[in-house]
Amino acid sequence: MSTKATVHNTMRIWHRYLGFFLAGIMAIYALSGVIMIFRTTDFLKQEKKMSDQLKPGLTAEQLGQAIRMRDLKFESSNGAIQNFKQGTYNTETGAVNYTIKTLPNALDKLTKLHKATTKDPLFYLNVFFGVSLLFFVISSFWMFMPSTSIFKKGLYFTLAGAILVLIMLFV
């Protein structure tokens, strides 16, 4: 028995197999997205001691840029040693010792999925994933015939989901 090659059946087939293909990607994106929510906290982060040799005589702002710390401020000094919240900087020698908190390597790589820019090869995965999710949204409306009650209820749930996001964004 052959099946009709209708738009309805074609969309269902594409939706099904693309869904299976993307299941692993979606699980990883979901995990990394939840981790990203806690990026401003110390949740799952480990302390690392860092040492570097920089130019002597840097200002707090220049030091912050050099070691990639925002809003770095010197809190006190002891001779040539400038103390800041995360460490010390010797203004005569340029030696800096500080502590950073980072995610374990595997989790750090996961969070880079969400931070990829056009200069990063992950950019292509992000674009593919975003377009695939948009296809899922559209193709899901071909899972049920428009005359069924499930389809009509599905439209209400779709509208409710969109309204919830708009409320969360603008209220």
Q: What is the pTM of this model?
A: 0.70
Q: Give the start-end residues of each E strand in the chain.
A: 46-53, 74-78, 81-84, 87-90, 95-102
Per-residue pLDDT band for 2 (boundaries 50, 70, 90) equals: low
The residue written with tokens 């964004």 in the block is: 169
The residue written with tokens 């299941």 in the block is: 23
The per-residue pLDDT for range 41-83, each reduced to its tens digit, is 999 999 999 999 999 999 999 999 999 999 999 999 999 999 9
Please tell me the distance from the alpha carbon of residue 122 to that of residue 101, in angstroms, as a whole number: 24
Q: Give the residue among 98, 95, 97 at the shortest CA–CA distance from 54.
A: 95
**pLDDT given for residue 118 in this prediction:** 94
The per-residue pLDDT for range 75-109, each reduced to its tens digit, is 999 999 999 999 999 999 999 999 999 999 999 99
